[in-house]
Structure 1
Amino acid sequence: MQDVKLIATDMDHTLLTEAGELPPAFGDKLDALKAKGIQFAIASGRPLYTLKALFPKHHDQMVLICDNGAVIADHGQVIAKHLLPQATILDICATVTRQVNGHPLICGLDGAVGATADQQFDGVFREFYHRLTYRDDLQSWSGEADKVTIYLPDGNAEAVFEQLIKPRYGADFSAAVSGPVWIDIMPKNINKGTAMAQIGQRKAISADQMMAFGDTFNDAQMLSYVRYGYLVANANPGMAAYARYRTASNDDYGVVQVLDQVLAAN
């Protein structure tokens, strides 16, 4: 592990506990990694403004891979931004609400937008999208957005992905299951793996010098790309083929256990 120069982790069900909390004294780990010259990155389906709020003292010293790679910020500077066409966004919203028990959120760069009829899920949405507004008709929306996320309260995200989202949008856009109740759709060729490659090129860090942690399918490309890809013990069983290594669960602070090994080796 002495050759590790860049470490990235997913947030939900990976770094964060099931209670949605960071490991104790995690800021101290970030400071220790910085002192060793190791770059740390958050790779999440969450937007930039939410990730900044979660790391108020450290976000300017980190790389933030947001919305599964659609936006990348390096030490406070946005270095990549990939937008979905408005027509596609509106088509996704109409298709989902018409064909399944799904509730789309338009992930704008400055805030998310949902349908007024979906305000019953505000507590769920706002955990991930701190800036959130509603409108009566999503088809009247216009603006810049890099992702549509779909909330599926029935917990059938994998089935909806295979039956509806992948056949309709998979060829032209990047789509992934990001949890039992979530599906994300981004511009084509945008994922956490391509984001890691872009950061590596920018910082002259090879995939062999990278480590990453994840739990579900929107982490697959990232875990496959890096040399040291770790699944937490609570990961989706279908992810077994995408990572070489295993660590403890999020509630047992599996990410921190490996970070301690990296710090000891350096």
Structure 2
Amino acid sequence: MKYKLIALDVDGTLLNDDHELSQGTIETIRMIAEQGTEFVLCTGRAPVSSIPFMRQIGLGGYVITHNGAATVNVRTEEIIYEFALNPHGLEPYMEYCRNNKVHFDVNTTFGLYVENAAGLNQEALDMYHKFLMEPHDLPSWAEFNEPIVKFTIAGMPEQIERVYADWSEWPQAFNMLRSGDLFIDLMHKDASKGSALQKLAEKRGIPAENVMAIGNYYNDLTMLTFAGLGVAMENSPEEVKAAADAVTASNNEEGVKLALQKYCLEEQLRIR
């Protein structure tokens, strides 16, 4: 099989809009994995909310999390590598958020921190619990025992658009990503899904032409363009589709399953 490593985005790609993973997609992934192809989830999620999908499918290997800022072994939960950012550089962004009533959180590879966790409203708690995350009170920088890998804001689309426009005019000390209609992430300048996927491919001895990636949003662009075959979902913005090599059906129409069948199982299915 040509593709030895396949990277899959999670939300808007692998999962449908109800955050479900279809049985048909699971079976297709298992069939390809049994032939020796490695799968890696490449997501903005944390390990705690992405590793369960790998275990549901029955896969080991790795997850690339926090939009490329941390790569973790699925079976041992060992951190393979992470891009730590300078927390002091976040202070102007935090002040902006406080002044403009923008919700933010600070992430280590496994932890998530907010100001006044006990005071979070139910909407914010529901958002975190949907991603299997439990927010903790944000300590001082000196009290962090683990590197900080991501700073995230969340809000309604019009608020996110306004913040993105404002921050785009600032000197760019971080990699600023639109990771969804409701989110903006700040990470280390060198952190991205594409750079993390490249590191993993090199670690596994797999050249780019034998890598396939499937995604649906702006934070997927770097991995779609790194991979020998980059596939965008039908529910992707037009700029993402234009950057990809191919387009599959939407996440609500099992687009991942259809792409995997077309590019990885077509010959086997014809034989059957």
AA partner of residue 66 (structure 1)? T
Corresponding position of 2:4? 5
Corresponding position of 1:64? 63
Rounded to whole Å, the distance in 2 between the matches of 1:86 and 1:244 is 37
Deviation string, structure 1 residues 6-59 (Cα, Å, up to 9, x no partner): 111111111110011112254433322221111101000001121123333557
Change (3 A) 1:89 1:118: farther
Query: Secondary structure of the residue that 2:241 maps to in structure 1?
Result: helix
Corresponding position of 1:195? 196
Corresponding position of 2:38? 39
**Given that residues 114 and 132 in structure 1 are in contact (C-alpha distance below 8 angstroms), is that contact kept between their aligned partners in structure 2?**
yes
Gaps of 5+ in 2: none
Rounded to whole Å, the distance in 2 between the matches of 1:240 and 1:70 is 24
Write the mapping of 1:1-266 to structure 2, written as runs, cut at 5 A: 2-57=1-56, 61-76=60-75, 77-99=78-100, 101-116=101-116, 117-120=119-122, 121-133=124-136, 135=137, 138=138, 140=140, 142-143=143-144, 144=146, 145-161=148-164, 163-168=165-170, 171-261=172-262, 262-265=264-267
**Given that residues 103 and 118 in structure 1 are in contact (C-alpha distance below 8 angstroms), is that contact kept between their aligned partners in structure 2?**
no
Pairwise CA RMSD of aligned residues?
A: 2.2
Rounded to whole Å, the distance in 2 between the matches of 1:4 and 1:56 is 22
**Given that residues 52 and 59 in structure 1 are in contact (C-alpha distance below 8 angstroms), is that contact kept between their aligned partners in structure 2?**
no
Deviation string, structure 1 residues 209-229 (Cα, Å, up to 9, x no partner): 111111111111111111211
- Taking every aligned residue pair, what percent have the same amino acid on both sides? 25
AA partner of residue 169 (structure 2)? P
Rounded to whole Å, the distance in 1 between the matches of 2:181 and 2:243 is 18
Rounded to whole Å, the distance in 1 between the matches of 2:58 and 2:170 is 36
Gaps of 5+ in 1: none
**Given that residues 155 and 180 in structure 1 are in contact (C-alpha distance below 8 angstroms), is that contact kept between their aligned partners in structure 2?**
no
Query: Secondary structure of the residue that 2:247 maps to in structure 1?
Result: strand
Q: CA deviation at 1:88?
A: 2.5
Query: Secondary structure of the residue that 2:236 maps to in structure 1?
Result: coil
Residues paired across the two proteins, number: 259
* TM-score in terms of structure 2 length: 0.86
Rounded to whole Å, the distance in 1 between the matches of 2:96 and 2:195 is 28
Query: Secondary structure of the residue that 2:190 maps to in structure 1?
Result: coil
Rounded to whole Å, the distance in 1 between the matches of 2:134 and 2:25 is 25
AA partner of residue 168 (structure 1)? W
* TM-score in terms of structure 1 length: 0.88
AA partner of residue 105 (structure 2)? L
Query: Secondary structure of the residue that 1:46 maps to in structure 2?
Result: coil
Rounded to whole Å, the distance in 2 between the matches of 1:239 and 1:85 is 30
